[in-house]
Amino acid sequence: MTWVNRTFNTWQNSLTIASASDLFIKIVYLVLIWSTVKLLFIGNVVWGDDYFILLSDPFTGPDRFAMLLNIPEVRSYYLLFALPFLGLIVAGLFGFHNVLTRSVVWFLFINLHFGNGSVSTGGHHLIQQLLFFHIFLFQVNDKKSSYLSSLGRFIHHLAHYSIWLQIAILYLVSGVWKLKGDLWLDGSAMFLTLSFKEFGFPWLANTINENTFFLQLLTWAVLAYQVLFIVLVWIKPIRKWVLLFGAIFHISIIFLIGITDFGLFMIASYSIFINNDLADDILRKLNPKRVIGVSA
């Protein structure tokens, strides 16, 4: 039996990554709850009538449904997008989700995301893609035996690894475009970025007077990480070290550069790489019944 046939059979017979997918959905939803709630406090400016961004409504036909909040008359009803979205992801956090709710979450996120391009980051673009794939994370019990169940398990595996690939594509695209410039290759990109108080802190911008070897090394390390991630992440023995580097990088983006959404979305997306056994362990420990001490 070839490797391909073996994989096809395994992916149809049992859901070997069910807990990893489940944990991924919960962590992404948790970060989305934070992001949505903080924006709801200024919702009327972000999505509603008090906007001062430039709206863009270039599409006709079905595509217009992705940009509904760019239609001024629709913005008065932004809560009809934001609140159901919030409700569905809160319910999803507690395990109440299915293919329909996940599809609606993707659709509403697209509208909320495109409803204000100014607050968008690469993390938002990534999450939009990951939420598309999460639609196909069908929860099919291993004990269910039917052609439909086998199909569900097979597609779940494909969607799960598509999320891996999509994260890797983000880094590849970002890295390759950086290679087309000058400053990442000559090691001064980080120096220039941190010289702006807007991408750090005033004290930091005023302190860094010249490009140190440390800043150059940091610039090249980030570039190498982004270009090589698509290869390195598939190599099991080094995966956790690769992800650890990435997590530290994204945490520093949160606290140093200050692009919090991007950093948190990226760290949340890393949860898809958590080993299924570990994910299972984490989910059992976080089980609400266990947390509040109710016996099952």
Q: Is the CB of 24 or the CB of 184 nearer to another protein? A: 184
Q: Is the CB of 14 or the CB of 275 nearer to another protein? A: 14
Comparing CA positions, the residue from 2, 80, 73, 87 lying closest to residue 37 is 87
Residue 54 gets which letter from DSSP? P
* Closest separation in Å from C-beta 280 to another protein: 20
How many whole angstroms from its chain centre is CA 243?
14
Q: Is the CB of 40 or the CB of 93 nearer to another protein? A: 40
* Closest separation in Å from C-beta 129 to another protein: 6
* Closest separation in Å from C-beta 289 to another protein: 28
Task: Tell me the two tokens of residue 267.
Answer: 């760290």
Torsion of CA 265, 270, 274, 278, to 10 degrees: -40
Q: Is the CB of 199 or the CB of 245 nearer to another protein? A: 199
* Closest separation in Å from C-beta 87 to another protein: 20
Residue ranges in the chain assigned as alpha helix (H): 3-13, 18-40, 43-46, 72-75, 79-93, 99-114, 122-134, 147-179, 189-194, 202-207, 213-232, 236-252, 260-269, 276-286, 288-291
Q: Is the CB of 41 or the CB of 288 nearer to another protein? A: 41
Q: Is the CB of 151 or the CB of 278 nearer to another protein? A: 151
- Cβ(155)–Cβ(138) below 8 Å: yes
* Closest separation in Å from C-beta 243 to another protein: 19
Comparing CA positions, the residue from 204, 189, 183 lying closest to residue 255 is 204
* Closest separation in Å from C-beta 140 to another protein: 9
- For the purposes of burial, counting CB atoms within 10 Å of the CB of 289, is it exposed (0-12), middle (13-18) or buried (19 or more)? exposed
